[in-house]
Structure 1
């Protein structure tokens, strides 16, 4: 009886301690995991966000780079197993949560996370070296088919990999696939002639403007806000796109007051002109509506669509 009573008292004590701890959130440094190596566009976005959260909370916000997997699946796996206390958050492409659990054998699922907000659409495209004789991706496939040659493609995630695989099959061109560790590695491989084609995010803009690479197609559903003459995959004849939305996410079942503190910080981003200008003009990321409701709706609808695509592919 005494053991049972002391055990109950200990549980109550731990509960009270936990509630008191979360009430002061954050009272020590917050760690944000991100899906890319340092210097990539998403890393720079995460660091800009971390700086704003640091100012809002008056606590250090540390960025930890966790590249690997499909558009952040390595990072997502680690975050799924993190304590649900708000001190471990993540920034990743939405595909890590909507696409990968449907098409890959991930250790997590969509419902294992709380989606605070979409952070924007990372403009992305298919690139090649500037000396290649192509103006569009369609040109590249026409050239390869006429020359009876294959193409090598460096991908960033399973979604852009599968898009290009379907396009190559449609065009009857052999496609050799090469994994990457993020945008900078793709740029290096393409510029060095190790890959014919590659998929990168908004890091491409400066390289294209400087003439160091060519962009053959916008892989997002719409044309770029800059370089608007570059056509989309759909405009070149394929009903395909890669939706590189970015999301701020945490483990599920976070304390309500922790969620509110993070939500309040997210809402303050709406009025932060300096941050928004940096994201749009320096990182070339298209801003979307901030907030949990919009993010949750997008994640659920997109995951459902990918589940249907997976089901159809198995018939």
Structure 2
């Protein structure tokens, strides 16, 4: 049997001295081996090339190589192709943990929503989803870093939609809206103007009528956005609204509750006091009323012609592969419908918005256009 094996090997132009010398080659190594059998050296004029042993094989031909028939070459060629493609296919995404960087500090609405969604995503995607905080510049620090990361689906950012729809129109940043894939929006912030009930104002129009008596009114301000909206409102009402800067939504509530200002703008910190009756909500800034405050009108309903929609937004670098984008769309859509997320949005007074894919792309574009008009109206 041993003699017959060697004879068989000689028929293809190569002798292995001992059976123990026969290599345990991988598919690609066999492909190279067989390729050398079939392809003659350039310019040699030979029809058949003797196999050149790899370093792992010690060989010494016992006799001149024999030509290989066309049929044998065809069989070997087919075997070479099969061997070349025998390597295992790439595993489907995700193959490792996914990271969500929150563009704001721990404990805020963005952070709370991101962590709740991450728990569900881990179950839906079959990989851990790690949440880390990367605050700074109203979400711009995290967004700038994300724009420079590979578009492989393993790095996302949770931020506010105004980080990409408004801020790049107001200042030069390290990114533009075109630098991202818009993965999902889960929840809309209940931005509003609030005042003390003792004033007796039913809505913002009543407050503006009171301001006309003195010509001006001060209000606690927290963002560049509220200053733009207030300027547009003041222009429409024919009064002067003077912003009093604060460092957070919680400080806005403190200023209003203490009677230090007449009005205050807040993205949601006011909600507990509004539900308890300690604060009166004058108007909400979004395109629709807040679910938990159904009697409070929007700015557009009051005739001011402006609005501000700010979403909890999840983004990825631009150029996300379509298969990865589809998996993320499906996972976020499922997470947004989960009872735990629905309850969270209700408890945080977020409007129950869940958008992905082309629908979200259209929303982002519309918000960019709306803010461009708002900027012009506030001049």
TM more than 0.5? yes
2:305 corresponds to 1:236: no
1:168 pairs with one of 227, 234, 237? 234
**Partner of residue 146 from structure 1, selected from 196, 213, 238:** 213
> Which stretch shifts more, 210-219 or 255-264?
255-264
Deviation (angstroms), 1:260: 3.8
- How far does the alpha carbon of each residue in 1:85-107 deviate from its partner, in whole angstroms, 9 at most, with x for none? 43331222222212222233233
1:2-55 deviations in Å (ceiling 9; x for gaps): xxxxxxxxxxxxxxxxx96x95535135132234x3333333222211222233
For the aligned residues, what is the CA RMSD?
Answer: 3.0
Does 304-313 or 122-131 show the bigger shift? 304-313
CA contact (8 A) 2:191 2:268 kept: yes
Tell me the distance in 2 between the aligned counterparts of 1:195 and 1:53: 43
5 Å-filtered alignment, 1:27-46, equals 27-28=96-97, 30-35=99-104, 37-46=105-114
Structural mapping, 1:187-226, within 5 Å: 187-226=253-292
* 8 Å Cα contact 1:117/1:266 also seen in 2: yes
CA shift, 1:307, in A, is 4.1
Unaligned runs of at least 5 residues, structure 2: 1-88
CA contact (8 A) 1:125 1:199 kept: yes
Q: Whole-Å Cα distance in 2 between the matches of residues 34 and 269 of structure 1?
A: 20
Task: Give 1:193 deviation, angstroms.
Answer: 4.0
Length-normalised TM-score, structure 2 = 0.66
More deviation in 293-302 or 58-67? 58-67
Q: Of 80, 89, 93, which residue of structure 1 is paired with 2:156?
A: 89
Give the 3-state SS of the residue equivalent to 2:355 in structure 1: coil
Q: 1:109 aligns with which of 176, 179, 195?
A: 176
The structure whose RCO (Cα within 8 Å, separation 6+) is larger is 1
What's the offset of the Cα at 1:151? Answer: 1.2
What is the TM-score of this pair, normalised by structure 1? 0.78
Cα deviation for residue 225 of structure 1 reads 1.9
Any conservation in 2 of the 1:32–1:50 contact (CA below 8 Å)? no
Q: CA separation of 1:27/1:81 partners in 2, compared to 1, >3 Å: closer, same or farther?
A: same
Name the CA distance, whole Å, in 1 between partners of 2:238 and 2:102: 40
Aligned partners of 2:190, 2:102: CA distance in 1, in Å?
A: 21
Q: 2:314 aligns with which of 248, 266, 272?
A: 248
Aligned-residue offset at 1:208: 0.6
Corresponding residue number in structure 2 for 1:62: 131
Give the SS at the match of 2:301.
coil
Segments of structure 1 that go 5 or more residues without pairing to the other structure are 1-18
- In structure 1, the residue corresponding to 2:302 is in which secondary structure? coil
Whole-angstrom CA distance in 2 between matches of 1:133 and 1:146: 15
- Judged with a 3 Å threshold, the aligned counterparts in structure 2 of structure 1 residues 305 and 212 are, in CA distance, closer, same or farther, namely closer
Tell me, what secondary structure is at the counterpart of 2:251? helix
1:49 counterpart residue number: 117
Contact 2:232/2:374 (CA < 8 Å) preserved in 1? no
Structure-2 change in CA distance of 1:188 and 1:85 (3 Å): farther
The residue number in structure 2 matching 1:16 is none
